[in-house]
Amino acid sequence: MDSMETIKQTFFQECEDLLQDLESGLILMNDGESDDETINSVFRAVHSIKGGAGAFELTELVKFAHIFENTLDEIRSDRLEASKEVLKVLLQSSDTLTDLFEAARDDVEFDDTERADELRAALQGFIGDKPEEASDDGGMPAMSMDDMGFEPVILDFDFGDDVDVAPDAIVFDIVFTPNATMYAHGNEAVRLLSNLAELGDANITCDRSTLPAFDDIDPEGAYLSWSIELETEKTEDDIREIFDFVEDDCELQITQRGGAPEGGPEDGLPDEDSAETPDIAIETTSEAPAMDNNEAVSAAPVEVASVEIEVKAEEKEQPKAEAPAKPEKKAEKKAAAPVQAATIRINLERVDRLINLVGELVINQAMLTECVVEAGLSRDSAVSSGLDEFKQLTREIQESVMAIRAQPVQSLFQRMSRVVRKAAQATDKSVRLVLEGEFTEVDKTIVEKLADPLTHMIRNAVDHGVETPEKRLENGKPEEGIVTLSAAHRSGKIVIEVSDDGAGVNRERVKQIAIDKGLIPEDAPLSDSEIDNLLFMPGFSTAENVTTLSGRGVGMDVVKRAIQSLGGRVTISSEPGKGSVFTISLPLTLAILDGMLVHAAGQTLVIPLTAIVETLIPKPGDIHHMGPDGRVLNIRGTFVPMIDVGYELGFRDSPTHSERSVVLSVETDGGTQSALLVDAIQDQRQVVIKSLEDNYGHVPSIAAATILGDGRIALILDVDNLVSSAGDSRASFDPTLVAAE
């Protein structure tokens, strides 16, 4: 039972990948890229899910996948047009298939059977078949052989030369032996044989002489081979085209009657005239049946939390015999297909442990550097030179290990397509999600923790941002609204934006709601940016009624807290009538960062290097006083507020004398410039991030902590929060007044 449960969990993991491929393909089709390979990949995903689910008797999942698969087969056979109406139902069916999968995986009852029945009826309507009726035992619907698409083929086991051949037909003898890798890549022998039988009259025998005893079967192995006698008017090129995508994963011999075999020596393949070869007659079908048990899923041991690592192998130069030219269309399609790198699954805990060890290595390297400095060794000494090499090697190891955890945000972004469809359906709006930069890589931990904040933001954009179709038409906009989700690397950070082309923030209404709820004073002078940021206040909501999407006042506040817990920031910009943009800025990793070590009021602090623009020592003439404690610094004609770090953090009671300080010009994610005053700069180095959230909660102006080379603890500044909190005392600062003075 434990072994079967392990195989079942492996199937569920593979299903997640297949569902992702399914949604990706359907989105491409919806965007107009309905090429044969995209349609086939979508079909293969649903078919593989149905086959695996059948092996574990997941009845509801099989029933829905079956009609889904039939509809896709109609499309790929050009009997059904992939219109917008059809694709809309297919996308909704993909969502329901995901819900059914999640219910089966979590071993809970699927509670939206009414919706599933509606979609099954819609799919049946597209293909024109009569509605299927469930069987008495509650399993697959009762179907005849014709309903399932089986086309019986007369099998003749006599491979002699006295076959009655049509005058213009050719007889080919084919030996097809799959390797284990063919099944691992999601291909099926029965599907290939079915396609082969469509070329003419096929007599097929299966050789199972190498099949071991049941207890010795490796579920990932390949033990069967097939001999096919094919009478066809097609050419050898047409036959090889069927095996085009598996030619590296099988042994294939094609011999025209009277000719020599093209596939090389048989290498132990059974003699087709041998009496010891047990022959099995099989039926070929244009609709592939559910997979055999040994084809359904792989039985590799599974770790519950795992990460895939790409292992790029060098291209092997293999001698190539002169092969007939493939059809031009097929050759172009294959050339355009991306080369897939090999991957292995690794327990995520092992990767985390490796990252922790690298972090300790960084700390150890810092300690060695301290020892060398304290010993007074020359920079030209062998120890110092070796330490520099050790430092460089440590950085390279750290970057390589962090690359293992890095993964594209594509899987997360594609899940948001489903959120948009459901939110649009709930609000009776027409909304389309556009993805940009989905292959941008970021730490896996960050990707996992972004799911909930992004879901809130996407729902907010659909519910509050995009107008109703009628309102959009009145405003001269297309009926369909656009929500754009993008990701990019900027200045050592990952920046994710959620934008819409809706009405934008109604600032007058937002401010009035905040006043009515007692969140701000009635006479508060707020800028447009400050009004926009009221949306992130706890308890704030612009919804008039509580719905399944909004109205409880916990949406955007939850987003802000979740992003802050990741060491990031979220900001909003809006233009009335044109839409809003929510920007999330996050560190690329939560493990190690490059920072500047500084001293302030006797404390050692770390300022993230990505926030620092430049360092300088101010001249007395460049400093201007604003009020009793406020100061601004003139940096090449631009006046920026000065912030005494030691005073703001409470390390001293009064601001320091600015002329004796070192200034670090910093810039926040929102573009605000400030001048941080510290006593001295010590060094620039990599530091290991140690979170304070678990033990101390959120500490204002402090992002995390680190361990220095001498064993001391240093706090890592949260520059954005420090600048924001210090700005409360200078809200009325106007640089133009200083310039006028």
pLDDT of residue 547: 52
% of the chain residues with pLDDT over 70: 76
Six token digits for residue 99: 């819900």
pLDDT of residue 225: 92
pLDDT of residue 550: 53
Q: Is 717's pLDDT higher than 80? A: yes
Q: What is the pLDDT of residues 646-705, one digit of tens each?
A: 888 888 888 776 567 788 888 876 677 888 989 888 888 878 787 777 677 778 888 888
Phi then psi for 324, rounded to 5 degrees?
A: -60, 145
Work out the widest C-alpha separation in the chain, in whole angstroms.
Answer: 110
Q: Is 493's pLDDT higher than 70? A: yes
Say how many C-beta atoms besides its own lie within 10 A of residue 144's C-beta: 7
Judge whether 25 and 41 are in contact, CB under 8 Å. Answer: yes
pLDDT of residue 490: 77
Strands 493-500 and 481-490: antiparallel
Q: How wide is the angle at C-alpha 665 spanned by C-alphas 659 and 668, nearest 5°?
A: 140
Rounded to whole angstroms, how far apart are CA atoms 362 and 398?
A: 8
Q: What is the pLDDT of residues 335-344, one digit of tens each?
A: 344 445 567 7
pLDDT of residue 484: 94
Q: In the structure, what pLDDT confidence band is assigned to residue 421 with cuts at 50, 70 and 90?
A: confident
Considering only 108-117, 268-277, 386-395, 596-605, which range has the smallest mean pLDDT?
A: 268-277
Q: Is 553's pLDDT higher than 50? A: no
Q: Is 174's pLDDT higher than 90? A: yes
Q: Is 492's pLDDT higher than 70? A: no
Provide CB contacts within 8 A for 505, sequence distance 6+.
531, 532, 535, 572, 574, 576, 580
Q: What is the pLDDT of residues 628-640, one digit of tens each?
A: 667 888 888 888 8
Domain 2-127 has CATH 1.20.120.160: yes
pLDDT of residue 509: 86
CA 635 distance to own-chain centroid = 43
pLDDT of residue 713: 85
Among 533-537, 573-577, 683-687, top mean pLDDT goes to 573-577
Q: Residue 457 to residues 421, 440, 498, 554, 653: CA-CA distances in angstroms?
A: 14, 20, 7, 12, 41
Considering only 164-168, 439-443, 453-457, 484-488, which range has the smallest mean pLDDT?
A: 164-168
Q: In the structure, what pLDDT confidence band is assigned to residue 168 with cuts at 50, 70 and 90?
A: low
Q: Residue 337 to residues 32, 55, 247, 330, 457: CA-CA distances in angstroms?
A: 18, 31, 15, 11, 35
Strands 431-436 and 673-678: unpaired
pLDDT of residue 277: 39
Q: What is the pLDDT of residues 576-595, one digit of tens each?
A: 888 999 998 887 666 677 88
Q: Fold for 409-587, please state it.
A: Heat Shock Protein 90 (3.30.565)
Q: Residue 628 to residues 631, 646, 654, 655, 672: CA-CA distances in angstroms?
A: 9, 18, 11, 11, 23
% of the chain residues with pLDDT over 90: 6
Q: In the structure, what pLDDT confidence band is assigned to residue 307 with cuts at 50, 70 and 90?
A: low
pLDDT of residue 150: 41
Q: What is the pLDDT of residues 92-147, one digit of tens each?
A: 898 889 889 888 888 888 888 888 888 888 888 888 754 444 443 444 444 443 44
Q: What is the pLDDT of residues 428-442, one digit of tens each?
A: 898 988 989 888 888
Query: Which residue would you say has higher pLDDT here, 490 or 460?
Result: 460
Task: Give the length of the chain.
Answer: 741
Rounded to whole angstroms, how far apart are CA atoms 468 and 61?
A: 35
Q: Residue 261 to residues 5, 165, 264: CA-CA distances in angstroms?
A: 45, 20, 7
Provide CB contacts within 8 A for 419, sequence distance 6+.
455, 458, 459
Strands 662-667 and 638-644: unpaired
pTM of the model: 0.56
pLDDT of residue 323: 40
Q: CATH for 592-740?
A: 2.30.30.40
Provide CB contacts within 8 A for 49, sequence distance 6+.
15, 18, 19, 22, 61, 65, 97, 101
**DSSP H helices in 517-650:** 528-532, 555-565, 645-648
Q: How wide is the angle at C-alpha 249 spanned by C-alphas 265 and 45, nearest 5°?
A: 150
CA 319 distance to own-chain centroid = 38
Among left, alpha and beta (phi > 0; psi -120 to 50; other), residue 518 is left
Q: CATH for 170-286?
A: 3.30.70
Is 260 exposed, middle or buried, given 0-12, 13-18 or 19+ CB atoms closer than 10 A?
Answer: exposed
Helix (H) or strand (E) holding 279, with range, is strand 279-281
